Chain A
């Protein structure tokens, strides 16, 4: 009976006006939409994203425009840069040698030249004195779009007119379509389990190592505990997997096209560019064909940028490599740092680095 009375009291709209229904729909949808946003805030999705997503930290970093205040050198690339560049050690060496240059590790896991092309305007606007791209053979095959990366930094990407030819219509739509916080709801479960580290970046204090910063202050590569550590057997398996041979053909791919575009666009904007062929474990190098190397070097020549071959820079030593193509961050990167510092000093002495 109570239910019948409730039904009777809450119903009865045979003559409801259209405008009342339309207003109800709009009010309902808006309340639902903002209510969900409120829920995402409570769960801490934004904190989770800003503290764990490298790409968000890198784009936030570009907004700081550190190049206006200092001579900044950016290392840009995938995890091969992320793991291989110990910016703290390099900065320490440069300071000891009397050079007022600050190096930043802007590696993003999975980043390739195709994704890097989205960063170009942001890089230009942040005015670095030098950009160093770290590449290796397997980053230049035909790449597919990583939608999550795009929507995480959607509001910061500037689609340059001269870059449109690099993308398909779907990819352009991914960049242009408005990003709403609904795109972030996929992180709800992760955010619930995440303990905020309180990582802050202010104007005066900027971490030079965004790669490890955004994995959380407690993240450190640990040879024994890190499940990614493959050991010698793992590297042998990787070498024999066939993914490194042949790896670069003479056919154009979107990644190659993007690498050329990235280098030339930065240089046209007055920013010097250097490309590094990053170290590979000797077992992996043994599988890279001469044809791949020739094609790769021809590509690097065609960019017009300075390039250096560090493929064989690191010995076959258990402390240097995490796996076949990543330098071990805690040990190898430290040992590789002097070579990087030496390179930067050489570039500085040769007036390659641009001082504003």
Chain B
């Protein structure tokens, strides 16, 4: 059941009405839980058994960690509680990738030999709910939370339908305390939630879905297109993935908000960041913090010397890339960002390049830093989006050995972009203009529309719903992150 279909909105209205009518806390939570399971069944049918299995297994392991009398026992149950969700994730997501790599190696020694692929169907949201289950067990072990005595609340935390299939990755410490009080749907939360939902639908259906066709065409056969077209498709993919994923997050957070739940933000203007370190604090924030807290820090973080810090950074980013999918392009993308973080840490963090140079903190310099950072990020998107290693090599060749074959319309577009960049650079010398632009870009629009008086808020709804109805393509593709 996609967020962008009428069926989902009918489902949502029914759930809201039921929650409103039933005022008992226990029954409200059970209705939400059953609704979440129904939502997942519509998305993945038989895989609901997997969701239930992971829920029960992680709950029991968390309980055992909590109850364990000795540190040794805690660790044993922590390991079990880690292995089970990871084993589920590994099997359903990576088993065929692993078999393919084994077959590639076997093929070197014995050309005819190969292990047949299992062709396992990837359960929707498996990367997300397994990570949530992991975080629960970890946080109990680390003493950050107590074991949740009511199983249905824990089950609801794992299965909560807005965040179930594509995040945000919610921590138990963020969500479970919110279940201690009755669900009350207030006018303010309803308005805030609907504002976010409409904005998310706009980003997904109007921007991301309309771009997707062009991007898919180019990346399906990069050899058949010019360097400029590949560059354009890469930029558009960067916009598409941001609008698709952040749009989904907006809808998820908006739906949660309607019920009075605060889900963590996943994006914070990542394409305006001035270096790669800040980028990763603003892009897919819930995954970044998960990797930081449960991979990077346990590996030692930055506490074991420079070399080990770099290794930990690199490994964390490779794991982040691998989490996105069972393909070498994702691993290379993760490694690419790992190298960039590493280099940033070395040159800026340790060697303190540019420290003390006042100009580098000026607005024009920051503008240039943003451009360079985003150029590197968008190059990474090309790696991320390529369908295979072969296609990736083709794309890189075409970008590195640019053919400058530009059609009339593209020429105008390129000239226009260059002109805009130059104008922005010149204007960045004016502090007042920069302050005004910052105010416009970083203004809390969602906060404003959420607090608007209803007679003005109607205008927001009319404009954005009309744009969605008019500009959304007839067929709405799935959200990109469903595939992860």
Contact = CB atoms under 8 A, between A and B. Distances in A.
Interface of A: 7, 10-18, 20-25, 27-29, 31-33, 35-36, 39, 182-183, 185-186, 188
B194 interface: yes
Contacts of A20: 187, 454
Interface in B457-484: 457-463, 465-466, 469-470, 474
B470 A36 contact: yes
A29 B186 CA distance: 20
B190 interface: yes
Contacts of A182: 469
B191 A28 contact: no
A24 B187 CA distance: 11
A64 B474 CA distance: 32
Given A11-B448, A28-B462, A16 B456 contact: no
Contact of A185 (B190, B461, B470): B470
Contact of A36 (B185, B456, B461, B469): B469
A21 B465 contact: no
B191 A32 contact: no
A27 B458 contact: yes
A11 B451 contact: yes
A36 B454 CA distance: 22
**Nearest 7 Cβ contacts at the A-B interface:** A28-B461, A32-B465, A32-B466, A16-B187, A11-B451, A24-B454, A18-B187
B448 A21 contact: no
Interface of A is mostly: helix
Contacts of B452: 10-11, 13
B475 to A, nearest CB: 10
B190 A28 contact: no
17 contacts: A7-B448, A10-B456, A11-B451, A13-B188, A14-B451, A18-B186, A21-B190, A24-B455, A24-B461, A25-B194, A28-B460, A29-B461, A31-B462, A32-B461, A33-B465, A36-B470, A188-B470
Contacts of A31: 458, 462
Contact of A11 (B187, B453, B461, B470): B453
A33 B469 contact: yes
A22 B191 CA distance: 9
B455 to A, nearest CB: 8
A166 B188 CA distance: 51
Given A23-B454, A25-B461, 8 more contacts: A11-B448, A13-B453, A13-B457, A18-B187, A18-B190, A27-B461, A31-B462, A186-B474
Nearest to B463: A32
Interface in B172-224: 185-188, 190-191, 194
A21 B194 contact: yes
B453 A28 contact: no
Contacts of A7: 448
A36 B194 contact: no
Contacts of A27: 458, 461
Contacts of A13: 187-188, 191, 451-454, 457
Contacts of B462: 28, 31-32, 35
Contacts of B190: 18, 21-22
Given A13-B453, A24-B457, A28-B458, A183 B465 contact: no
B191 A36 contact: no
Contacts of A16: 187-188, 191, 453-454
A205 B461 CA distance: 47
Contact of A21 (B187, B459, B470): B187
Interface in B410-462: 448, 451-462
Interface in B251-299: none
A57 B125 CA distance: 47
A99 to B, nearest CB: 47
B458 A24 contact: yes
A35 B466 contact: yes
A181 B265 CA distance: 36
A23 B186 CA distance: 14
A68 to B, nearest CB: 38
Nearest to A185: B470
Nearest to A17: B187
Nearest to B470: A36
B280 to A, nearest CB: 32
B88 to A, nearest CB: 32
Given A18-B185, A183-B474, A29 B453 contact: no
Interface in B67-107: none
A20 B461 CA distance: 14
B194 A12 contact: no
Contacts of A23: 454
B191 A12 contact: no
A52 B334 CA distance: 52
Contact of B187 (A12, A15, A33): A15
Contacts of B461: 24-25, 27-29, 32
Contacts of A15: 187-188
A338 B457 CA distance: 69
Contacts of B451: 11-14
Contacts of B470: 36, 39, 185, 188
A347 to B, nearest CB: 44
A182 B470 CA distance: 8
Given A22-B190, A28-B461, A31-B462, A12 B453 contact: yes
Contact of A32 (B448, B454, B469): B469
Given A14-B188, A16-B187, A18-B187, A185 B469 contact: yes
A28 B465 contact: yes
Interface in B6-22: none
A13 B187 CA distance: 9
A29 B465 contact: yes
Most chain B CB atoms below 10 A, which of A17, A21, A27: A21
Contacts of B469: 32-33, 36, 182, 185
A12 B474 CA distance: 37
Interface string B226-243: 000000000000000000
A29 B468 CA distance: 11
Contact of B191 (A21, A35, A185, A186): A21
Contacts of A188: 470
Contacts of B185: 18
A178 to B, nearest CB: 10
A52 B376 CA distance: 49
A25 B271 CA distance: 32
Contacts of B463: 32
Nearest to B186: A18
Contacts of A28: 457-462, 465
Contacts of B191: 13, 16, 21, 24
Contacts of A10: 452-453, 456
